[in-house]
Amino acid sequence: MQHHTQKTLMEVRNLKVHFTIKPDNAWPWQKGHALKAVDGVDLTIYEGETLGVVGESGCGKSTLARALLRLVPITEGNVVWLGQDLTDLDKKQMRDKRQELQMIFQDPLASLDPRMTVGDIIAEPLVTFHPELSKDEVKSAVRQMMDRVGLLPNVINRYPHEFSGGQCQRIGIARALILKPKLIVCDEPVSALDVSIQAQVVNLLKELQTEMNLSLVFIAHDLSVVKHISDRVLVMYLGNPVELASKRSLYAQPQHPYTKALMSAVPVPDPRIERSKSIQLLAGDLPSPINPPSGCVFRTRCPHANDTCAAQKPVLSAFSNEHQVACSRLAELS
């Protein structure tokens, strides 16, 4: 496997994020229910690689993204960045770390301050972290970054509402990259954009990654977008990792019944293949993360579930040297 020679940037161990949910009419002394948004994720992120994270809405992808950068409180587990446990840092120390860890958000317009010009938005991280820079130095860095992400220099004094979604996302990318971070978490950065623009933004991210040796965590619910950009892919279901593999291995031979169902729903551009392929529909609805099924969380929708699946929670275990699957019945089914 190629990435064992690469430097490890981030190690995530048994990460859990649980929120307490109370009904609006609850008494103050009533206990709330735990909503298990992320329920035990182990990951390693290597230098210069892209890890794709996929799963349907509500599977905990965005919560995982925010937990990696400590934007939501972590209930249990550790996020270790370059040997330092982020869960131990106070607010100020964490703020200093944000130079190395940045995020690109799903809704390009909502993540930009409408009262600030494009130049000020992109300059803000520089002004915050490098107060020693002169106005001219900041402006020159901002212009270079704008040029790099494909924004014309004459729009520097315009406001976000004057731009299209794709241009707003380029502004968001410029803002995230201006500090030259090592890791960028992309939380569904293209799902709000037209398909033609999606490809441009994904290609831009790939170019910038090669140029700046960035690592990306790329979150999406669209498997074809993830295939285009990722080196490895993590498939999540109801806050739990169900499959983690190299892109090549995952798309060639998905092992988990959930991954297979997701793959079968991806349209194929050839009409003959599209008509003849069998779509594996999942039975039932996504269970509530407040009351997930016992054992394997996928068992209520899995065609192969049996009593073992209800009794024990499967953990990711090696299927091959670049492929891990969380399924108690994998040996029988593969």
> Is residue 154 assigned to a domain?
no
For residues 226 and 219, the answer to whether their CB atoms sit within 8 Å is no
Regarding predicted confidence, which is higher, 313 or 30? Answer: 313
Confidence band of 334 (pLDDT split at 50, 70, 90): low
Total tally of structural domains belonging to the chain: 1
CA-based nearest residue to 263, from 235, 229, 296, 301: 235
| Residues spanned by the domain of 89 | 2-22+34-100+181-254
> Is residue 222 assigned to a domain?
yes
Please, what is the average pLDDT of the chain? 89
> Is residue 175 assigned to a domain?
no
> In the prediction, which pLDDT does 209 show?
94
- CATH number for the domain spanning 82: value is 3.40.50.300
* Residues 6 or more apart in contact with residue 166 via CB below 8 angstroms: 108, 193, 194, 197, 200, 201
> In the prediction, which pLDDT does 80 show?
95
Confidence band of 4 (pLDDT split at 50, 70, 90): low
User: pTM higher than 0.85 for the full model?
Assistant: yes
pLDDT at 95 over 50: yes
> Is residue 59 assigned to a domain?
yes
The string of pLDDT tens digits covering residues 281-319 is 777 778 888 888 999 999 999 888 888 899 889 988 888
> Is residue 77 assigned to a domain?
yes
Confidence band of 1 (pLDDT split at 50, 70, 90): very low
For residues 206 and 229, the answer to whether their CB atoms sit within 8 Å is yes
pLDDT at 37 over 60: yes
> Is residue 12 assigned to a domain?
yes
- Burial (0-12, 13-18, 19+ Cβ within 10 Å), 330: middle
> Is residue 42 assigned to a domain?
yes
Confidence band of 5 (pLDDT split at 50, 70, 90): low
